A and B are shown apart, each in its own frame.
Chain A
Amino acid sequence: MSAAFDQIAPHRDGAAPTSTGEASDFFALLKPRVMFLVIVTALGGMVAAPGSVNPIIGFAALLAISVGAGASGCLNMWWDADIDAVMTRTANRPIPAGRILPSEALAFGLTLSVGSVLVLGLVANLLSASMLAFTIFFYAVVYSMWLKRATPQNIVIGGAAGAFPPMIGEAVVTGDFGITSIVLFAIIFLWTPPHFWALALVKSGDYARAGIPMLPNVAGPAATRRQIVAYTLVLAPVAVLPALMGFGGMIYLAVSVVTGLMMIALSLRVLKVTEGDAAYKAAYQLFGFSILYLFLLFAVLLAENGLGLMWALPKVL
């Protein structure tokens, strides 16, 4: 069980547990950078969906989805405070740094979880709210509490949580989800392993200290590099599908092909360069570029579908 539970109890002197954390610390608990990607991908699902939604309702739904994603990040930080404390990348997060008490983070995360699901249900529909609730549950319980410390496939299965936002976005617009958001789900799902394993190659010492069974620590760097290339080789063509299926246009086709080839080239470099600083640099470059890659794919989808920049290709699929 996480050490986070050990710190929920009232202060030993009998004082009510409280901290001097500022609003920015609570905001940091929501993992703002992840929230930003969730906003982009959920909005991508909304604009690519066959249908339309009142802009105010759409904005409110997007706000609820992003807060729900932030809430799951907050619950993840609450649960993982013990391992965050021993990893250099996460040691300065609000809980391990001592700026926020675990009990505060737990209350904050649960409140936002319930609130975001209720608001989404009220402003949009039951299906999208149910999916948001499932996403929070999947990330906080299935991934954080179970998979992360149990299997090197943690981020493969857990990646589904990050891939749900476009489906929630489509459900907001149509009250259903179809092939459009399933393709967007597949893109994020396949993107997650090369993205996180590239980071895990760089930070394998951190993960080893924390006892997290990431693939490089369990199967070794060589096997991880092969898996990164395998996932990237599947991801790049799947990322082109929106253009072939009619909800991505000419710009999307060009961007997805060019950036997909760059992803493949960077992953092959990770496979080839295995020694010294150059190996770390190659892995870190793939990690950094993968963020830009996903952002660009969804930003172009947004521009084409939301801003009328769509020059559609003949529908192939």
Chain B
Amino acid sequence: MSENPQRQDPPSKPQPPAAFSPEDMARRNRRSIALALVLAGLVLFFFVVTLAKTGPAILNRPL
């Protein structure tokens, strides 16, 4: 089907930019850092929760 040349995207429709500007790249870097911090937090979260769920018995196991 051929594209209608008259068609205009509504102004509210977000479109990714063709190329990232330095400002865009800085925003994406901040986003990546936030994601890394969340992932690190999740590691700590699961570690602490595992200790809390297992309790002192975590060390009481046959070697």
Question: B-contacting residues of A (Cβ < 8 Å)?
Answer: 7, 11, 13, 15-23, 26, 54, 56-57, 60, 63, 85, 95-102, 122-123
Contacts and interface: CB of A to CB of B under 8 A. Distances in A.
Contacts of A100: 14
* A-B pairs with lowest CB-CB distance, top 8: A23-B34, A98-B14, A56-B52, A85-B12, A20-B24, A20-B27, A60-B49, A18-B16
Contact of A23 (B12, B18, B30, B52): B30
A21 B35 CA distance: 13
B14 A23 contact: no
Given A7-B13, A23-B35, A98-B14, 18 more contacts: A11-B15, A11-B16, A15-B16, A20-B20, A22-B27, A22-B30, A22-B31, A23-B31, A56-B51, A57-B52, A57-B53, A60-B48, A96-B12, A97-B12, A101-B14, A101-B16, A122-B49, A123-B53
Contacts of A22: 27, 30-31, 34
A99 B14 contact: yes
Interface string B8-27: 00001111111010001001
B58 to A, nearest CB: 14
Contacts of B35: 23
A15 to B, nearest CB: 6
B28 A20 contact: yes
Contacts of A26: 31
A19 B14 contact: yes
Contacts of A16: 16
